[in-house]
């Protein structure tokens, strides 16, 4: 890759980046607009960023066990437990931000999976070819 190509790519990235993503005033205006719509932006951002970060920490433990020779033992299972606890903490914040009962999340997940796998068994085809709205 040449420096010219990288500069051209950076220009492309800038051109296809939303205004609130690169402009403080537009970002603040969007945040205010979302608050006016009833969105608890602060808590939602905390939950979103936190869940992503904690998933990365959980993944890091898995990577070290599978690829770097770290033992699969009670100590490392305890590390998994703690990271899952952190994920649950952020999950609860997401539920609060969205005004939903955490129990509803589990119920809806069961409905979604029962619809996807009506016979109650995993299917590669059904996991890959989904109905409209089934993400």
User: Is residue 135 very low, low, confident or very high in pLDDT (cuts 50, 70, 90)?
Assistant: confident
Could you identify the residue written with the tokens 């939903």?
Answer: 100
Residue 44 C-alpha from the chain's centroid: 11
Beta carbons of 55 and 84 less than 8 angstroms apart: no
pLDDT: which is higher, 5 or 123: 5
Is the pLDDT assigned to residue 132 strictly greater than 90?
A: no
How large is the average pLDDT for residues 40-68? Answer: 97
How large is the average pLDDT for residues 79-86? Answer: 97
Our CA angle for 31, 35, 36, nearest 5°, is 115
Is the pLDDT assigned to residue 133 strictly greater than 80?
A: no
User: Is residue 10 very low, low, confident or very high in pLDDT (cuts 50, 70, 90)?
Assistant: very high
Give the pTM.
0.84
How large is the average pLDDT for residues 64-74? Answer: 98
Could you identify the residue written with the tokens 């070819």?
Answer: 129
């Amino acid at each position: 890759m040449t420096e010219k190509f990288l500069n051209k790519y950076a220009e492309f990235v800038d051109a296809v980046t939303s205004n609130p993503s690169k402009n403080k005033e537009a970002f603040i205006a969007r945040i205010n607009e979302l608050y006016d719509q009833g969105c608890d932006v602060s808590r939602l951002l905390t939950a979103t960023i936190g869940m992503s970060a904690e998933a990365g920490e959980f993944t890091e433990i898995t990577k070290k066990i599978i690829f770097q020779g770290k033992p699969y033992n009670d100590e490392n299972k305890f590390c998994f437990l703690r990271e899952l606890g952190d994920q649950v903490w952020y999950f609860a914040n997401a539920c609060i931000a969205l005004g939903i009962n955490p129990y509803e999340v589990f119920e809806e997940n069961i409905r979604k999976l029962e619809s996807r796998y009506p016979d109650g068994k995993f299917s590669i085809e059904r996991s890959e070819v989904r109905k409209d709205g089934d993400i």
